[in-house]
Amino acid sequence: MEFIKRTLTAIVLLVFIYFLAVKSTPLVFFLVLQAVIYLALYELLNLVELKNEYKLIISIYAILISYYFFTKKLSIDTILLTMILASGIVLLKRTDKETLKNFSSNYAKLIFIPFYLVFTLNFLFYIWKVSYLHLFFLILIISVGDSAAYFIGSWIGKHKMFPVASPKKSVEGFIASIVFSILAAYLASLTFYKMFPPDFILISGVLIPLVAQLSDPVESLFKRATGVKDSSNILPGHGGFLDRIDSYIFAAPVFFLLIRYFTLIK
């Protein structure tokens, strides 16, 4: 039953992503992406120990970062400086003797969380702007890599990679994710992606599953720290939005940098 729910949800999501990527305008794609990002941010904020007023501040920072990606009217260094100064002022006002022990962690969370989640995932918008085919290529590599890691790891996985963060992830599954991702990237280059240089195909096939397989357990540490399995139960069989996009947190910016390095931007 769980497998059926998981499969049906995956099919619905893939169909939705296809039509969104192919048919939507930049504004529509951006707004839908923001909805997903902010739902994931909401789930993440529920996992960390922060006052509601600090969660509100993080949300405001997140909006500034998103505004930067869509308009480029604010520089990212200006946003970062604003975040550092504003957070310091707020914490000076709100920190008392009882909360003094949390000052360092609160300051770090206020700066880190918006960049960890919102800054990284907004690179999906940049990738889509290059071409929806590039976005599909990224999804293909990550999906094949994650599936290979799961099935091969469940079958022959014996050596754990991250026992605390992801006890089920194995070295064997990790190697399988890279091997099958390279194969998927190569097969894709023979069909819809003949325009991609061979070295781009090879490096993407190695690097993207590598960072994706690291991105997932990093996100899992937030859940392990609070003793929960899924960030939410909003997606049947898949957990929450944060659970579904965790592989893209590191992979999206890395893939965009690869595109820019190989001058594939139109």
pLDDT in tens, the chain (266 residues): 544 555 566 677 778 888 888 989 999 999 999 999 999 999 999 888 888 899 999 999 999 999 999 998 778 999 999 999 999 999 999 988 888 998 999 999 999 999 999 999 999 999 999 999 999 999 999 988 888 888 887 778 677 877 777 777 888 888 889 999 999 998 988 887 888 888 899 999 999 999 998 888 888 888 888 777 766 666 655 567 888 888 999 999 999 999 988 875 55
Asked if residue 251 is part of any domain, the answer here is yes
Asked if residue 52 is part of any domain, the answer here is no
Q: What is the pLDDT, as a whole number, of residue 211?
A: 93
Alpha-carbon distances, residue 185 vs 21, 161, 198 (angstroms): 20, 25, 10
Is 92 within 8 Å of 103 (Cβ atoms)? no
Asked if residue 12 is part of any domain, the answer here is no
Q: What is the pLDDT, as a whole number, of residue 9?
A: 64
* 17-55: burial string, b at 16+ Cβ within 10 Å, e else: eeebbeebeeeebbeebbeebbbbbbbbbbbbebeeebb
Asked if residue 230 is part of any domain, the answer here is yes
Residue 139 belongs to domain spanning: 131-266
Q: What is the pLDDT, as a whole number, of residue 12?
A: 74
Asked if residue 139 is part of any domain, the answer here is yes
Q: What is the pLDDT, as a whole number, of residue 237?
A: 53
Q: Give the span between the Cα atoms of 204 and 186, in whole angstroms.
A: 10
- End-to-end alpha-carbon separation of the chain, Å? 45
Residue 217, phi then psi, degrees to nearest 5:
-65, -30
Q: What is the pLDDT, as a whole number, of residue 232?
A: 63
Does this model's pTM top 0.85? yes
Q: Give the span between the Cα atoms of 210 and 200, in whole angstroms.
A: 15
Asked if residue 145 is part of any domain, the answer here is yes
Residue 125: its H or E element: helix 123-130
Domain tally for the chain?
1
Asked if residue 143 is part of any domain, the answer here is yes
Q: Give the span between the Cα atoms of 198 and 56, in whole angstroms.
A: 46
Q: What is the pLDDT, as a whole number, of residue 183?
A: 92
Asked if residue 70 is part of any domain, the answer here is no
Q: Give the span between the Cα atoms of 202 and 41, in whole angstroms.
A: 33
Residue whose pair of structure tokens reads 């091997």 in the numeric block = 179
Alpha-carbon distances, residue 108 vs 31, 92, 197, 198, 223 (angstroms): 28, 14, 41, 41, 18
Q: What is the pLDDT, as a whole number, of residue 252?
A: 96
